[in-house]
Structure 1
Amino acid sequence: MDILIQNVNDLKLEIARLKNQEVEQAVALKARFSSPAAIFSTAMSLFPKSPTVDGVKNESFFSQDFLGLISRIALPLTLNKTIFKHSNFLVKTLVGILSQKASHYISEDSVTGVWGKAKALFNKFTKKKNEEEVPTPAYVKY
């Protein structure tokens, strides 16, 4: 927007227009940062939603369940403190990125499914062991 200023009156009009624009923008900024919810929504608007793929919307950070959110923090921290303890910066960064991606697959449903399978397997082995130890009673006719 190039405005040609040819005389003093044009300059005064442009100064007045810019002052009005400044006041309007100040009011808009005050409204945008008036409450904590407004500040949070402003911050979240910096991170746009990802587009849908095949009609399925990708989950954002805050739409994951509780266990998924915990795994996003605990998984990279645990891996970097245990397995990759003496690794360099690049390896730890790569582990952090990959574990962030892998945490999308960790949810309450998946953990419950794995726990159920492990529990069934454990019960199967303990049941066989108990059957072997307990002798079958012999019934005798008199």
Structure 2
Amino acid sequence: METQIQNLQDLKTRIAFLELKQLDDELVIKQKFQSIKDTLTSPLKFLKRIGSMVGITHNSGAATHSTSSTKADWVTNFGRVFLPLLLNKTLLRNRGIIVKSLVSILSQRTVNSMSFNKNVLVNWIDKATGFINSTKKKVKPAKQIDYGIPPGSETY
């Protein structure tokens, strides 16, 4: 579909038409991209809404805050992963999937860097070892038997 350009006015009109067509095509591509993006992120948005209803995540304006204000150390991350596994294997052994899921979500929520970190773990270990050491029976030192010879004397 060739357009016959005969003078300068036709050229300027064609350039303006092509610029408008380019803007229209860009708008259509952006809308399609946004539609695809919304389709792919809708399950995530659904889970975030469910989480905010349960109280797992909370949004403040445009920024999302994590469950703790300080950075989590390795003990906190370890606790977040293995505490739900430990609960599922011990206390929740013959429970349903819904109960296990809810307890896992709540246990991950409660393990934060303010309440469970290296210092807290060290304090717990110190208390446990102090308790174990205090419950051990103290052994009395053996009495020395006096044979009547002073220890510093020279005997031949």
CA shift at 1:119, angstroms? Answer: 1.2
1:134 has 2:141 as partner = yes
Q: Which residue of 2 aligns with 1:50?
A: 65
CA shift at 1:72, angstroms? Answer: 0.7
CA shift at 1:14, angstroms? Answer: 2.3
Normalized against structure 1, the TM-score is what?
Answer: 0.55
Question: For the residues of structure 1 that align with 2:108 and 2:74, how far apart are their CA atoms?
Answer: 15
Q: Which residue of 2 aligns with 1:75?
A: 83
In structure 1, what residue type is equivalent to 2:119? D
CA shift at 1:58, angstroms? Answer: 3.3
Aligned residues: 103
Flag the structure with more relative contact order, 1 or 2, with Cα contacts below 8 A and sequence separation at least 6. 2
Q: Which residue of 1 aligns with 2:20?
A: 14
1:123 has 2:116 as partner = no
1:106 has 2:116 as partner = yes
Unaligned runs of 5+ in 1: 1-7, 26-46, 52-56
Normalized against structure 2, the TM-score is what?
Answer: 0.51
In structure 2, what residue type is equivalent to 1:17? L
Larger Rg: 2
In structure 2, what residue type is equivalent to 1:14? L
Structure with the higher helix share, 1 or 2: 1
CA RMSD of aligned residues (A): 3.6
Match of 2:104 among 96, 99, 124: 96
Change (3 A) 1:78 1:98: same
Matched residue SS, 1:112: helix
Unaligned runs of 5+ in 2: 1-12, 31-61, 150-156
